[in-house]
Amino acid sequence: MKIFLFVVLGLSLGLANAQTPDIASVKGEDVFAQTLRAVELLGGMQQFVEPGQKVGILVNSAFREKGAYTDPDVVIATIRMVFEAGASDIVFLQPIDPEYWTRSSLEPEYRDMIARTREIKENKFPAVFSEEVFVKVPSVEGAVSVKDLELVKELFEVDVFINLPIAKHHGTTVLTNSMKNLMGLNTRTSNVKFHLDGPARNDPEFIAQCIADLNLVRKVDLIISDVSHVIVTGGPGGPGEIVSPLRVVAGTDPVAIDTYCAQQIGFLPEDVLTIEKGYQHKLGEKDLSKLIIVEE
C-alpha cells in the first residue's frame, strides 16, 4: 500500500512538473486577474521570488496613447505578487511617472503598496550616463554587434529581474515586446548607437542584432506581456490601429514570448528580425510546437 501511495505521489509530482507551461496565456477582460492567473499557471510567483530578495522590474510605461503602454493593472498585479512572495525590495529600473498609475482604477486601492516601491529616477528618457547610476559594459560575451553599452547598474544588483512589456507595433523593428523592452535599461547614447552605428541608418538587421545582443547581458527571470489592447500601426508611440487579443502572456523564454505574442497581434514572427537573432543566440525557442503553451 505504501509503495502504491509513493508511486501515485511520485507520478503526481512528475505530471505536475511536466505540465508547467513554457507560456501561460490568459484571456479575459480583467487584466489584473489575468496577470495573477498567468503567473499562477507558471507555478506562482514563489517560483521566481524568494523571501528577502530584491526584485527589479522594467515596465514600458513611457507612452501615453492607449495601446502603446503596458496596462498598469499588469504592473500592480505583479508587484502585489512579488510582495506577497516576500520580496524585501522592488525597484523599477526605469522611473514611472505618477500619472501612469492613475490610468488604473486600482490605483487608490494599491496606492500604499505602490509607494513601497522605488525607482531609478535618473534612468528617465533621455538618460545620461553617470557613474552613480550606470555602468559601462564595453563588450558582451557572444554579442555580434553591440559594444560599449551603458546600462542601469542595479540590473546587476537585483536578485530577480521581471520584464513587463506590451506587445505592439514598432516602425523600425515591426514588433516591440520582451526583447526590445530591454532597451529601457540603456542610456540614450547606447540606444542611439543601435540606430546609427549600423551599415545604414536605422538598419533593421543591425538594430535587431543589437537588441538580441543586449538580451545576453542578463537573463530575464519572468516576462509578463500585456497583449490586451495594443497598437498594430503607428508604433511605438501611437496613435494607431488597435487590436484586442485581450490576453496577458507570461513565461521565461523571451524568444518564445515574442513569437507567441507576434502571432496574437497578427504579425508574422518571420517578419520580426529580433526573434531570429534571439534564437540564434540561444535565448529561447521560436518553434512554438516544441513548447507547452497553456491558454485559458
Partner 1 sequence: MLKSFSMAVAIQLAILLFLVPALQGQTAISVLPGAGFLPGWEASYDAVAYEGDDLFFLINGGADLYMEYGFADVAAVELKHPDKGSVYVEMYRMDSDSAAFGIFSLRKGGLSVEVNPGPWVVYGEDFLHLWQGPFYMSVSGGRLEKSARLQVFLTLIGHLTEKVPAENKLPALYEEYRQAEANSAAYLMGPLALSNIYSFGHENPFRVSEGLVLERDIDREIILTYADASTASGIFNGVLHFFTDNARFPQFEGSGRSFAAVDRQGKLIEATLSGNKILLAIEKQG
Chain residues in the site for partner 1 (CB under 8 A): 62-64, 125-126, 169-174, 188, 191-192, 195-196, 201-202, 204, 232-237, 239-240, 243, 266-268, 270-273
Q: How far is the CB of 197 from partner 1 (least distance, A)?
A: 11
The single-letter DSSP state of residue 186 is B
Q: Which residue has the cell 494599491?
A: 110
> Which segments of 42-131 does DSSP mark as H helices, in order?
72-84, 98-101, 107-115
The single-letter DSSP state of residue 137 is E
Q: How far is the CB of 108 from partner 1 (least distance, A)?
A: 21
Q: How many residues in total does the chain contain?
A: 296
Q: How far is the CB of 188 from partner 1 (least distance, A)?
A: 6
Nearer to partner 1, 120 or 222 (CB): 120
What's the rounded Cα separation, in Å, for the pair 274 and 174?
A: 9
The two beta strands, 23-27 and 293-295, are parallel
Q: How far is the CB of 176 from partner 1 (least distance, A)?
A: 8
What's the rounded Cα separation, in Å, for the pair 71 and 63?
A: 11
Q: How many CB atoms lie within 10 A of CB 203?
A: 18
Give phi and psi for 42, each to the nearest 5. -85, 0
Q: How far is the CB of 7 from partner 1 (least distance, A)?
A: 46
Q: How far is the CB of 267 from partner 1 (least distance, A)?
A: 7
Q: Which residue has the cell 507547452?
A: 292
Nearer to partner 1, 235 or 251 (CB): 235
What's the maximum distance between 2 C-alpha atoms anywhere in the chain?
Answer: 71
